[in-house]
Amino acid sequence: MAETTDQPRVSMDEITALAKRRGFIFPSSDIYGGIGGFYDYGPLGAMLKRNVKDAWWREMVEKRDDVVPFDSSIIMHPKVWKASGHIDAFHDRMVDCKVCKHRFRADHLRNAEQCPDCGSKNSFTDARNFNLMLQTFVGPMEDSAAVAYLRPETAQGIFVNFKNIYQTARKRPPFGVAQIGKAFRNEITPGNFTFRLREFEQAELEYFVPDDGNDLAAFDGWVKARRQWYSDYGIKTDRLRFYELKEDERPHYAKAGVDVEYLFPWGWGELESIAHRGTYDLDAHMKLSGKDLRYFDESQKAHYTPLLIESSAGMDRTTLVMLVDAYERERSTDPNGKETERIVLRFHPKIAPLQAAVFSLARNKPDLVELARGIERDLRAVFRTQYDEGNIGQLYRRQDEIGTPFCITVDYDTLDDRSVTVRQRDSMKQERIAIDGLRNYLNDRL
Ligand code: GAP
């Protein structure tokens, strides 16, 4: 489904450089040269990703009475992965270059004759399967009986607990179980910054419905809800598409499937998959475990296996989309006719790492500094804020680059009129606001 754009608005190099310069995302273990497929989130990145996860959690769990939260362990009984099909079938086709020994995913080479790394011709081995699960050992013995896997998706923890959950939460289908957590895949070729990682976070919703003829309507309802989510949190709709999978693109048991894709600088990439998985997952665990996971319908005095609708979104990919989508290089002419340029991240205010920055115009004026710090402390109780001081132009530039919607400056007039200058990130408009009115001013706009 790869498609390229003629002229991306922003390059991945620009995004990677900004992410490092401002402390959003760093390569993991950077001082030792990094490790492929792993990244660390710096102070602003950690806040950004936290806001993305909170936004998902708020809309998908907290605001609904038909979804319950869950949090399962990363390592589970290896039979979980046997039943789910991951041990037998979760692999990519892989080839090696016989000359430089580099490894590639066969589907990424697309019939290329030459090695993309060393340029050798016809140097590839035959393709073979490569299982993507990361292995470890549990307990003191490092033998085959102790092999365990780091989960490649969070969903299975929900399936094996289905009965525990519906009984204790006293829920009957239709209802959903949601979880956000780490997943691990030993990707052959991680890349595109944090798009394809070996350690990443998923936000998964498993929605169980009765087989009463309303399942496809429930599927459509979730597609609609997810479309709404992206739009509510500011993702441009023309850079997002909901690709409906055709029958031959879906697993045999899936009645419907939609991939949510974003137009990244390198082309369309999947952010989330929404799938109607029938009874496949619960059936598989009932078969291997011999345990009955069916729902008991008290009114009918009968057991049945509910159908499953899954929405599975990558939180690292969504965070990356927030960065890419918000990025703008803006040129304008200042009042003196001089051409200026700024980089601005136009985050949605709920997603922005910081919501307001408070500045003292002068570093060496204790009364200004004290007043500005006091204002920041007061706002901090309600908003995500930061105090800073120094050259106002540089301070604005920094806050634009990290996407802070409002900058509040305490200047010499403030001491007399108890007002501050509030500057809006997007319009750069400035207005004088009384200190006492700041909380309300921000509340109305955030
Ligand atoms: N339980 C269903 C499931 O795991 P998936 O399409 O394999 O479905 C869902 O994964 C989402 O998880 C993807 O759309 C993507 O956002 C994220 N994801 C998968 N592999 C990833 C990787 N290697 N790096 C970052 N995110 C990944």
Tens-digit pLDDT profile for residues 23-64: 999 999 999 999 999 999 999 999 999 999 999 999 999 999
- Backbone torsions φ then ψ of 445, nearest 5 degrees: -105, -15
Q: Which of 303, 323, 343 is the last residue of a domain?
A: 323
Which segments within 289-372 are labelled E, that is strand?
Answer: 295-297, 302-304, 307-314, 327-333, 339-345, 356-360
In total, the chain counts a number of residues equal to: 446
What average pLDDT does this structure show over 125-143?
A: 93
**Whether 182 and 287 share a structural domain:** yes
Q: What's the mean per-residue pLDDT of the chain?
A: 95
Read off the CATH number of the domain in which 383 is found.
3.40.50.800
Which tens digit of pLDDT belongs to each residue from 172-197? Answer: 999 999 999 999 999 999 999 999 99
**Whether 282 and 359 share a structural domain:** no
Tell whether ligand 1 has an atom less than 6 A from the beta carbon of residue 171: no
In a domain, 59, yes or no: yes
What average pLDDT does this structure show over 417-426?
A: 97
**Alpha carbons 117 and 129: distance in angstroms, whole number:** 21
How far, in Å, is the centroid of ligand 1 from the Cα of 125?
A: 28
If one counts every other C-beta atom within 10 angstroms of the C-beta of residue 115, the result is 21
How far, in Å, is the centroid of ligand 1 from the Cα of 298?
A: 37
Instruction: Tell me the residue type at 112.
Output: A
Q: Is the dihedral of CA 50, 18, 232, 197 positive or negative?
A: negative
**Whether 66 and 159 share a structural domain:** yes
**Whether 209 and 317 share a structural domain:** yes
**Whether 295 and 195 share a structural domain:** yes
Q: Which contiguous run of DSSP H or E holds residue 225?
A: helix 215-232
**Whether 317 and 207 share a structural domain:** yes
**Whether 171 and 22 share a structural domain:** yes
Tokens of 365: 């004026």
Ligand 1 atom with the smallest distance to the CA of 196 is 24
- Percent of the chain predicted with pLDDT > 70: 98
Residue 222 and residue 274 in contact, taking contact as beta carbons nearer than 8 Å: yes
The residue range of the domain holding 310 is 12-74+152-323
**Whether 48 and 189 share a structural domain:** yes
- CA triplet 57, 58, 61: central angle to 5 degrees? 65
Listed in sequence order, the residues at least 6 apart from 242 whose beta carbon sits closer than 8 Å to its beta carbon are: 223, 227, 258, 259, 260, 261
Which is nearest to 75 in space by CA: 198, 181, 203? 181
Tell whether ligand 1 has an atom less than 6 A from the beta carbon of residue 153: yes
Tell whether ligand 1 has an atom less than 6 A from the beta carbon of residue 179: no
In the predicted structure, residue 6 carries a pLDDT above the cut 80: no
**Alpha carbons 383 and 355: distance in angstroms, whole number:** 6
- Percent of the chain predicted with pLDDT > 90: 90
Residue 197 and residue 300 in contact, taking contact as beta carbons nearer than 8 Å: no
**Whether 158 and 238 share a structural domain:** yes
Mutate to test the pocket of ligand 1, among 179, 243, 273 (most ligand atoms within 8 A of CB): 273
Which tens digit of pLDDT belongs to each residue from 75-113? Answer: 999 999 999 999 999 998 999 999 999 988 888 887 788
**Whether 403 and 312 share a structural domain:** no
In a domain, 377, yes or no: yes
Which is nearest to 49 in space by CA: 385, 235, 319, 230? 319
- Domain tally for the chain? 2
**Alpha carbons 201 and 198: distance in angstroms, whole number:** 10
Q: Please, what is the angle between helix 315-326 and helix 43-57, to 10°?
A: 110
pLDDT of residue 174: 97
Which tens digit of pLDDT belongs to each residue from 343-365? Answer: 999 999 999 999 999 999 989 99
- Backbone torsions φ then ψ of 141, nearest 5 degrees: -90, 135
In the predicted structure, residue 165 carries a pLDDT above the cut 90: yes
Which tens digit of pLDDT belongs to each residue from 245-302? Answer: 999 999 999 999 999 999 999 999 999 999 999 999 999 999 999 999 999 998 999 9
pLDDT of residue 315: 98
**Alpha carbons 22 and 1: distance in angstroms, whole number:** 33
Tokens of 315: 């939180």
pLDDT of residue 348: 97
In a domain, 343, yes or no: no
In a domain, 338, yes or no: no
- Backbone torsions φ then ψ of 325, nearest 5 degrees: -70, -35
In a domain, 147, yes or no: no
In a domain, 262, yes or no: yes
3-class SS at 283? helix
pLDDT of residue 46: 98
**Alpha carbons 401 and 423: distance in angstroms, whole number:** 14
In the predicted structure, residue 4 carries a pLDDT above the cut 50: no
pLDDT of residue 2: 40
pLDDT of residue 65: 96
**Whether 289 and 202 share a structural domain:** yes
How far, in Å, is the centroid of ligand 1 from the Cα of 349?
A: 26
**Whether 312 and 358 share a structural domain:** no
Ligand 1 atom with the smallest distance to the CA of 318 is 16
In a domain, 276, yes or no: yes
Which of 213-217, 335-339, 381-385 is predicted least confidently?
A: 335-339
In a domain, 82, yes or no: no
